[in-house]
Amino acid sequence: MTEITQLAIESWAGPCSALAQTTAIDALEKGDVLLLPKLDFALHDDERALYFQNTGVEVKGKNISLNLADNSVRGSHANAAELGVLRDMMVRFATDSRALVHALLPGYVSTIEQGRTSFRPVEVAGRASSWRKDDTRLHVDSFPSSPTRGKRILRLFTNVNPHGQGRNWRLGERFEDVARRYLGSLPEPLWGSSQVLAMLGITKGRRSNYDHFMLQLHDRMKADSAYQASGGQREFAFAPGCTWLVYTDQVPHAAMSGRFLFEQTFYLPVAGMHDPATSPLRVLERLMGRELA
């Protein structure tokens, strides 16, 4: 079962003790959620006024995202002035997130890449979606258009809900247990399909066998109502004002309710890990007896 490891860190920029650093990396790599209950993201008054006192009508879909490559913001109907406030707020969250990784996970700094930043003001509960996109079903993260070829997906979240509402998750069993449950029944990729998907621009780059099996696992978990109802799991409410980190490609998770969340994605090559054997890539390779990426 997924465990929660807590650290009493209060500052994004650190410093963090050597003990905190070791605890953090060990917990994350073995598939725990790393909870920092005292690490909040402070909002400015203009940000509060804009994004917390209305109903989130300015959001197009479920998330607003920031691409750090050009600081472009997507997914919002905000006007130019509002967009400026939104962008500054998200860039600050991205900067704080990076500072925390440097302070708490220094062993990752030389290989980690910072991905997109998102702000999630929309209530999760009751949101309509297809079963495949339904994040209220337990799953491990794997995205059809973005193959990672084994790279880890590390995500950092901060609940900034101003009304005392938690971000309510379910957390599942350990990755290897979930993998063993489905592995024997996952179909092989169709010959040549990864080239075709990349050529048509459906995937960004080639989908490796690893990506294929992770996507299958993601889909099979979400589609399996018996597993959703009675597979090993626990509920956990992430209170407002807390931050947590988790390898979402490894830890089965489902977001059941909550709104007003920040999220920052990082990618880490397996070789950059302290213990690569714990990665989904190496676990699947061991279980299947062959290389997958």
Residues engaged in binding Fe ion (CB under 5 A): 141
In the bound complex, what is the minimum distance in angstroms from residue 57's beta carbon to Fe ion? 25
Separation CA 94–CA 31 (nearest Å): 23
Separation CA 108–CA 132 (nearest Å): 32
∠112-117-121 over CA atoms, to 5°?
150
Separation CA 160–CA 42 (nearest Å): 8
Residue 273 DSSP SS3? coil
In the bound complex, what is the minimum distance in angstroms from residue 235's beta carbon to ligand SIN? 13
Instruction: Give me the count of residues in the chain.
Output: 293
Which residue's Cβ lies closest to ligand SIN?
A: 255
Residue pair 34/5 in contact (Cβ under 8 Å)? The answer is yes
Stretch that binds ligand SIN, among 40-48, 213-221, 229-237, 247-255 (CB under 6 A): 247-255
Q: Contact between 170 and ligand SIN (CB under 6 A)?
A: no
Q: Contact between 245 and ligand SIN (CB under 6 A)?
A: no
In the bound complex, what is the minimum distance in angstroms from residue 140's beta carbon to Fe ion? 8
Separation CA 195–CA 49 (nearest Å): 48
In the bound complex, what is the minimum distance in angstroms from residue 19's beta carbon to ligand SIN? 29
* Of residues 58 and 141, the one with the C-beta less far from Fe ion: 141
In the bound complex, what is the minimum distance in angstroms from residue 2's beta carbon to ligand SIN? 14
Return the number of other C-beta atoms located less than 10 Å from residue 129's C-beta: 11
Residue 130, φ and ψ in degrees, nearest 5: -70, 160
Q: Which of 82, 135, 219, 224 binds ligand SIN (CB under 6 A)?
A: 135
Q: Contact between 167 and ligand SIN (CB under 6 A)?
A: yes
Separation CA 109–CA 129 (nearest Å): 36
Separation CA 100–CA 102 (nearest Å): 5
* Of residues 103 and 255, the one with the C-beta less far from ligand SIN: 255
Q: Contact between 120 and ligand SIN (CB under 6 A)?
A: yes
Q: Which of 122, 153, 255, 292 binds ligand SIN (CB under 6 A)?
A: 255
Question: For residues 72-111, which are near ligand SIN according to CB under 6 A?
Answer: none
Report the number of secondary-structure helices (H) and strands (E) in the chain.
Answer: 8, 11
Q: Which two tokens stand for residue 70?
A: 């050009």
| Binding residues with ligand SIN: total (CB under 6 A) | 7
Which of Fe ion, ligand SIN, none interacts with 167 (beta carbon under 5 to 8 A by kind)? Answer: ligand SIN
In the bound complex, what is the minimum distance in angstroms from residue 256's beta carbon to ligand SIN? 9
Compute CA 121 distance to the chain's CA centroid, rounded to the nearest angstrom: 16
Residues at the interface with ligand SIN (CB under 6 A): 120, 135, 167, 248, 253, 255, 261
